[in-house]
Structure 1
Amino acid sequence: MVQSARPVPALLSSRAATDPDHEALIVAGTGALTLAEWDERSDAAAHTLLDQGVRPGDRVALVFGGRDWLDYAVSWMAVLKTGAVAVPLSDRLAEPELARLIKHCGATTMIRSGDELGGPTGPVPVKVDPLGYAQILYTSGTTGQPKGVAASHANLTSPPVHPKRRPFAHSRHLVHAFPIGTNAGQVMLLHALTAAPTVVTLPLFTPARFAALVESYAAGTVFVVPAMAIELLGARVQDRHDLSSVLLLGSAAAALPPKVAAELTEAFPNATVANYYTSTEAAPAQTIMIYDPDRPGALGHAASSLKIADADGDPAAPGETGEVWLRAAAHSRAYYGEQRHDTFQDGWVRMGDLGYLDDDGYLYLVDRESDVIKSGAFKVSTIQVEAALHEHPAVSEASVFGVPHPVMGMAVVAAVVSREPVTLAGVRAFLAERLAQHELPTRLLCVDALPRNAAGKVIKRELRGIAEE
């Protein structure tokens, strides 16, 4: 296991030697980066960092925005070539939060968009430890303060990719719009290193620009988060763009509501729609679950790397709700600067979700453990209520959460973005045919947009704050 571990820069140098002119990364309207250019430019930048005093094990903060993917990719690789630890951070973070994260990871150097890192070319005289940390990613922080998740080089390069069987070989181009500093964005950056297609992104996601990008490159693979999928469908981009080239449409970061998944299969007529289930803590381990119209409530068929556990950590019976665990990669991740044993246990990673498997092994998510609403004697699944709200013809987006109630303990509140005016009475009447009485919202918030973090996840604590005002 240890013998097969490789540092990330070795992936680039070996592939650049055999396929130097392959375009690894394209940023629409900005430029492109071949493997050879990526290798040479990151060599030069690494020499500059070494001259500035960066040493193996140092943490280097990388503060970039979506327009800077090319420079970011070079800077990230340069940091890794020095043996230092890259800490990707979005340039959209408020300065106090940015300062807090930099202090937490102990970064001694910061690289921002526009910083010049040119230097002498040639091999970097550092032997990088494949078992040493390569990067620290901060979680989305939707339920609390972001936690730093440290990944080694061996974690990022596992499992190894066979040169003749590269991922997504059915595509010449893979299109995504994930932001820098997110786990999904880092996965796409690694795909630029290892996958068969060229990875294409754009500085800022809009439905029209994204669909035009898919069409212009005849992309065979597309990745979105549910919020992007909802925007694409709401804009009816399939009416103005040819999306028939897409054979795989992957959704990450959160579960697709069943209605949204069904509509995606219509908008992308030749695509298989798949839920990529993982977390910042569990990556690169994941289970890929194909949307099945015969089981619209299921996330998909679960791989053997996933289990449902009861309160004692033992496997739950089919149909029994428990905690969802994912088997970690051979070289697992860890929380930086923390000794936490409740998330990482015996080669498994606790996902923070509640769910169950049916008799055929299909995974049904019940809710985030922290989002379950305990109302009176009942437990309400916000995922289930949100799925029912998405079926409402006037509702384009929905988020459900609990707020304190003097009698019931917690009350169900729904926040919706609607295409036309809706009322609580009307929404409750619509949902009464789909949900139990205790699942019906007692309050309705109509908002122009749901608050989301950089990864596209709804920040429910902000909605809760509005509801409690």
Structure 2
Amino acid sequence: MGSTAHQRILTVPELLADRAFDEPERAALIVAGVGTLTFREWDERSDAAAHGLIACGVGRGEKVGLVFGARDWLDFAVTWTAVLKAGAVAVPISDRMAPVQRDEMLVRCGATAVLYGQIVAPPAGPGWAGTAAQLQTGTTGQPDVRVELTDPAQILFTSGTTGRPKGVRATHANLGARGPISPKRRAFAHSKYLLHAFPIGTNAGQVMLTHALTAAPAVVTLPQFTPARFARLIESYSAGTVFVVPAMATELLSAGIAANHDLSSVLLLGSAASALPPKVAAGLVEAFPNATITNYYTSTEASPAQTIMIYDPQRPSALGRPAAGSELKVADSNGVRLSPGETGEVWLRAGPYSRSYHGEEDSQDTVFRDGWVRMGDLGYVDEDGFLHLVDRDSDVIKSGAFKVPTLQVEAELYEHPDVTEAAVFGISHPVMGMAVAAAVVATSPISLAGVRSFLGERLAQHELPTRLLVLDRLPRNDAGKVIKQTLRRIAKE
């Protein structure tokens, strides 16, 4: 295939075949301390694995669970693509999940087979189970399976911070919407290497995998994130592009990596998964002197629709404008667009490439509507078209006659000199119905009275925490998001 293939949206197998044709020996994916996968190896190995799947009886449209650990990114990439080449549907699931939850997800999605990595115990889910190596039948060449853009390609489960994780179905058109692009205009062309440490089975991790297919730099990841290891990789690869989640950014700043490592190669530092607290964004500006600090706002349901915000100290809380063909609106409960400055529900749309829920009919119409995706957040658009979040709809604390947005309280807590992480949530109150509680990670002893005194000139009286939890670390899921249900349970103990 030549560059003319880049003039249309491609299926995932076509994207890989195109890169393997143009740049066969170029590194696509590197796992630090494990190995490297070139585009030619990726294409040939996934062809062989796809033949193995077909020989095992996996048919078009069947669901195949993929349970891989962070050291197995190379095998995961091969088997994920092999499943799609066989015309089946890949279901990535993090190996960090409890076995009971993992197996329940496999049953819910209707998996007929499960593939797992070298360091993962064989799942007890439905159908047969095997490793990537067991699929190598010796058959080469592209499988004789026609894959259409409208065919389902993947089911990815949401993070489940507000309830049971939901399976989100994406087609090849949805995944391929991140490409195609001219070889001379590939994303992140300023970089030879793109570094991240996102887990398999998360939306952020899957976005990085599609970047390995479509973007200019080789994608580098490491099996286990620590600030020191991450900083060493930035130095050793002279990484030009780095992606983190806010929790990782906080750890990097707390560890003081800028004092011990050369971070000057980083030209773009992107944060995903949740809003980047303004104080953390400002800290990243100082730590990465040559980097543009960028916040990406999307969700498992909305991807590839997104807003992108280059950090602006004049708009520290803004999450940017819609990008890459996306559309944004803030609407009332009936879906009617609101005027700038009015707070309502945030919706995103990415043209005809909308995703959908798998087996969640009760939630389908409330989240997906005419190509639009309800984000579950409350926010507003300012006069210049920048999105500002007020809070997660389910997180707003209704205390007496007031509604307290937790994001605002969290942002002010981050300004406390001793606070490195903060999360705000509601707890039951006998009179007010709900009251404000906060959980923090602090560098020195901290008290509720001291926190209330610090916040007294920054927040209204009804926004001040009435309960303070001081923890060694905040409970987070694989995507790096704080699990507030766990905090509420701790507060009751």
TM > 0.5 fold call: yes
Any idea what the Cα deviations from partners look like across 1:166-196, whole Å, max 9, x if unmatched? Answer: 1100100000111000011001000001100
Any idea what the Cα deviations from partners look like across 1:281-311, whole Å, max 9, x if unmatched? Answer: 0111111111101122323345571111122
**1:80 partnered with 2:100:** no
**1:259 partnered with 2:279:** yes
What is the distance in 1 between the residues matched to 2:457 and 2:227? Answer: 33
**1:119 partnered with 2:137:** yes
Q: Counterpart in 2 of 1:241?
A: 261
Q: Counterpart in 2 of 1:434?
A: 458
2:166 and 2:360 in contact (8 A); partners too: no
1:372 and 1:382 in contact (8 A); partners too: yes
- One-letter identity of the residue aligned with 1:27: V
2:320 to 281, 292, 300: 300
- One-letter identity of the residue aligned with 1:316: L
What is the distance in 1 between the residues matched to 2:211 and 2:306? Answer: 15
Q: Please give the secondary structure, in 2, of the residue aligned with 1:187.
A: helix
**1:372 partnered with 2:390:** no
1:155 and 1:329 in contact (8 A); partners too: no
What is the distance in 1 between the residues matched to 2:157 and 2:202? Answer: 8
- One-letter identity of the residue aligned with 1:323: E
2:157 to 131, 138, 155: 138
Q: Counterpart in 2 of 1:147?
A: 166
2:270 to 247, 250, 256: 250
What is the distance in 1 between the residues matched to 2:461 and 2:360? Answer: 43
For the aligned residues, what is the CA RMSD? 1.2
2:346 to 324, 345, 348: 324
What is the distance in 2 between the residues matched to 1:300 and 1:286? Answer: 9
2:480 to 450, 456, 461: 456
Any idea what the Cα deviations from partners look like across 1:395-434, whole Å, max 9, x if unmatched? Answer: 1111100011110010100001111110000000001111
Correspondence list, 1:30-179, <5 A: 30-114=34-118, 115=131, 116=133, 117-120=135-138, 121-159=140-178, 160-179=180-199
1:389 to 403, 410, 413: 413
Q: Which runs of 5+ in 2 are unaligned?
A: 1-6, 119-130
1:209 to 207, 212, 229: 229
Q: Please give the secondary structure, in 2, of the residue aligned with 1:26.
A: strand
Q: Please give the secondary structure, in 1, of the residue aligned with 2:475.
A: coil
1:352 to 359, 373, 376: 376
Q: Which runs of 5+ in 1 are unaligned?
A: none
TM-score between the two structures when normalised by the length of structure 2: 0.93
What is the distance in 1 between the residues matched to 2:421 and 2:272? Answer: 17
1:158 and 1:329 in contact (8 A); partners too: no
**1:341 partnered with 2:365:** yes
1:5 and 1:131 in contact (8 A); partners too: no
Correspondence list, 1:391-410, <5 A: 391-410=415-434
What is the distance in 1 between the residues matched to 2:142 and 2:383? Answer: 55
What is the distance in 2 between the residues matched to 1:151 and 1:465? Answer: 34
Sequence identity percentage: 68
Q: Please give the secondary structure, in 2, of the residue aligned with 1:342.
A: helix
Bigger mean CA offset, 119-128 vs 378-387: 119-128
Q: Counterpart in 1 of 2:125?
A: none
State the number of aligned residues. Answer: 467
What is the distance in 1 between the residues matched to 2:308 and 2:181? Answer: 17
Bigger mean CA offset, 353-362 vs 453-462: 353-362
